[in-house]
Structure 1
C-alpha cells in the first residue's frame, strides 16, 4: 500500500532477491509475504526467475535460454497477478556499458539486453535496472558510457520500455550518484532515469568497510560531514524528480573486523562484498546516514517508488518467517518517511 507523505501517496516496492533464505522460500511464497505486508509492487530479480524455472521444470534454465525464460516469465506474471502486485522492474543487468566497439563483450552486452527485453515483455514490466559496470577494461569516458545507454534506450523505446541506471559504489568509473546523473544527462533520452540507493551513496561517499572507523578516512570527521552535506544539497537542487525512477532502501552493518582493502577470490571489490552480505533493513543494526539521503531525494520533489532492497547475511538468525520480515520492512519505510 502507498505510504501517506505530506498529502501524497508514495508507492512501495520490495525486491524479490531481498527476502527468503531457504529453498522452501519459493517465489510464490515470497510474493505472498510481500503482498500481505501491503507492498504495491516487486522488483523481479533474475535469480528468482531461474529458481522458479527450476521449480516448474525440474532444472534451472540457462540464463541465456530466452525462449525458456519467456515461458517462465509468463508463469511469474500470473503469480504476481494472483497476489494483486505489479512488477516494477527487472533487475539487475550488469556490466553492460563501456565495452570497446566491435568487441565480443559489447556484442554480448547488447544480446543480453535484448534477451532481457523479451523477459520484460513476458512478465509485464517496462523498466530495466542497469548497474554501473564494475568490469575491468571498459571505457572511462562518460560520453562513451552514455552513448551505449542511449543506443539501448532507443531500442527499448520501440517497446515503450525504460532504463533505471544505478550507481554501484564499487563500480569501475561511475560509483557516485553524480557520476550516473552526468551519464544520464549526457545520454539525454526521456526513457533513461536514475535508480538511487541509500546504501550505494552513503556507503560510497560517507562510509568505508575497509577502515576501523567504518568511515571514509584521510580527512577529519568535520570535513567528511561537510562533504556529505554538500553532496546531498547538490542532489536536492540539481536532479529533476521525474528523472528519479525509484529509490532503493537499505542500511549497512559496520564490518568488524574491517574487510581487506582488495578484491576477493572472484575479484569483487570490498564495497561489492559489503553490498552482498551486510545490508539490513533501516533501524535494524546499520549505521549509515540513510535518513539524510532519503530527505535529500524527497527535497527534489520525488514522490515515486520506494523499494526495499536488502542483503542481510544475519537474516537467518534474525527471522524464520518471511511475513514477519516483510511487515518489518513496511514499518521501516513508514518510519523513514514520517518518523
Structure 2
C-alpha cells in the first residue's frame, strides 16, 4: 500500500492549546492562540483548564468549575478570540472519569451533571466534539456493566445537539488502557456519533514503553518480543478499525524519565503513566524515544485522513518544567507535521 504525499498534506491540523508552553506555568491563553494561529494550525482543542484559566482574567475572578452559566460566558469569549485568529475549536477536552459508576453513587450523579454542563459549554464554544478519556477510577469503585450503557447514553445526549463523542484510551486507565479496549467499547455502544480519539503517546506509551523500568520499555518479554508484539498490535489496528470511526489522532512523543517511577499511585492518585503523561511529552523528533511514526502509519493505513492534533506536555527531560518561546515551539510542531507526513508517504507493503 502506498499513500500519496499530496493527499496526506491536506490532513487538517490542530493544537491542544493547554499544551503549548511550560505545563507547570502556562503562558496567557491569548498568547498561545496567537502562536498557534501564526504557525498555520487550523484549530485548537479547548481544555476545561483553559476555560478556568482564561475565566480568571476575563471575569476578574476565578470561576466556579460547576457554575456553567459563567463557564459558558468564558467559552463564548474564547470562541470569539479564536475566530479573530482564524482558528476553529475542534474539540472540548478532557472529560474524564465519566463511565462505570454504580447506580445511586455520588460519582454517577456528578458524571451526568458534568455531562449536561459540558454540552452547554460546547454550544457556547462552537465545537461539536467531546473527548472522553477511559476512566482511571479504581475498578473496585466501578460497575463494569455500566461502561457501555453510560457511553451509549452520553452519545445520545450529544446527538440531540448534533455533537460527537471521541473516546480515547488513556494508557493508565483501569479498564481500557489500549486501543483495542476502547474500540471494542465503541463498537458495542453502537452509536453513529461515537468514535475514537487515538493517540501516539497512549498507544506506544502503554503497549511498548514503561516509565517504571530502567530501560523505559516493557520488560515482561525481551526487547525483540516487545517490538514484535507492538507491531502486531499496530497491524491489527490498521486492519480492524473503520476509518470513519477515527475522529482524530493526537500526536506527541515521550522522554525517558530520569529515574524509574514507582508503580504506586502518587499523592494525587495518579498512576505512573499518568504522571509521565503530564510533563514528559515533547514533540516528535525532539528528544523522545517512542515509535511515533509507526503509530501514525498504522492509523493512516486504515484510510483515516482527518484531524491530526498536537498534544504535548513538555516539561523537559527532567519533567520539572521549562520556559519556551511559544511562537517558535508552535512552528516546530508544524515542522514536525511536515516530517511525519513525508515519512508516512513512504509507506509500502
TM class by smaller structure? over 0.9
Distance 2:49 2:184 in 1: 30
TM-score calculated relative to the size of structure 2:
0.93
Distance 1:134 1:307 in 2: 23
Q: Deviations over 1:46-105 (max 9, x none)?
A: 111111110112211011110000111111111011000100000001100000022221
Partner residue in 2 for 1:197: 199
Aligned-pair RMSD on alpha carbons?
1.6
Name the CA shift for 1:62/1:247 in 2 (closer, same or farther; >3 Å): same
Distance 1:160 1:181 in 2: 22
Partner residue in 1 for 2:346: none
Q: Kindly indicate whether residue 70 of structure 2 is the aligned counterpart of residue 59 of structure 1.
A: no
Quote how far apart the aligned CAs of 1:28 are. Answer: 1.2
Structure 2 unpaired stretches of 5+: 344-349
Q: How many residues align?
A: 335
Distance 2:196 2:7 in 1: 24
Partner residue in 2 for 1:163: 165
Q: Kindly indicate whether residue 31 of structure 2 is the aligned counterpart of residue 29 of structure 1.
A: yes
Which deviates further from its counterpart, 221-230 or 127-136? Answer: 221-230
Partner residue in 2 for 1:332: 336
Q: Deviations over 1:13-49 (max 9, x none)?
A: 0001111338682111111100000000000011111
Q: Kindly indicate whether residue 19 of structure 2 is the aligned counterpart of residue 15 of structure 1.
A: no
Assess if the C-alpha contact under 8 Å between 1:197 and 1:248 holds in 2: yes
Quote how far apart the aligned CAs of 1:194 are. Answer: 0.3
Which deviates further from its counterpart, 52-61 or 241-250? Answer: 52-61
Any idea what SS the aligned residue of 2:250 has? strand
Which deviates further from its counterpart, 150-159 or 14-23? Answer: 14-23
Structure 1 unpaired stretches of 5+: none
Distance 1:316 1:103 in 2: 37
Assess if the C-alpha contact under 8 Å between 1:46 and 1:92 holds in 2: yes
Quote how far apart the aligned CAs of 1:132 are. Answer: 0.3
Name the CA shift for 1:338/1:316 in 2 (closer, same or farther; >3 Å): farther
Distance 2:323 2:58 in 1: 27
RCO (CA 8 Å, sep 6+): is it higher in 1 or 2? 2
Quote how far apart the aligned CAs of 1:257 are. Answer: 1.1
Q: Kindly indicate whether residue 125 of structure 2 is the aligned counterpart of residue 118 of structure 1.
A: no
Q: Kindly indicate whether residue 287 of structure 2 is the aligned counterpart of residue 251 of structure 1.
A: no
Decide which of 85, 102, 105 is 1:103's aligned counterpart. Answer: 105
Q: Deviations over 1:256-297 (max 9, x none)?
A: 211112111112110001001110000010000111000000
Partner residue in 2 for 1:178: 180
Distance 1:138 1:337 in 2: 43
Distance 2:15 2:257 in 1: 25
Any idea what SS the aligned residue of 1:307 has? strand
Quote how far apart the aligned CAs of 1:312 are. Answer: 1.0
Distance 1:317 1:63 in 2: 25
Distance 1:245 1:24 in 2: 27
TM-score calculated relative to the size of structure 1:
0.95
Distance 2:247 2:171 in 1: 19
Partner residue in 1 for 2:236: 234
Distance 1:211 1:332 in 2: 28
Distance 2:195 2:224 in 1: 33
Assess if the C-alpha contact under 8 Å between 1:319 and 1:325 holds in 2: no
Name the CA shift for 1:318/1:155 in 2 (closer, same or farther; >3 Å): closer
Quote how far apart the aligned CAs of 1:218 are. Answer: 1.6
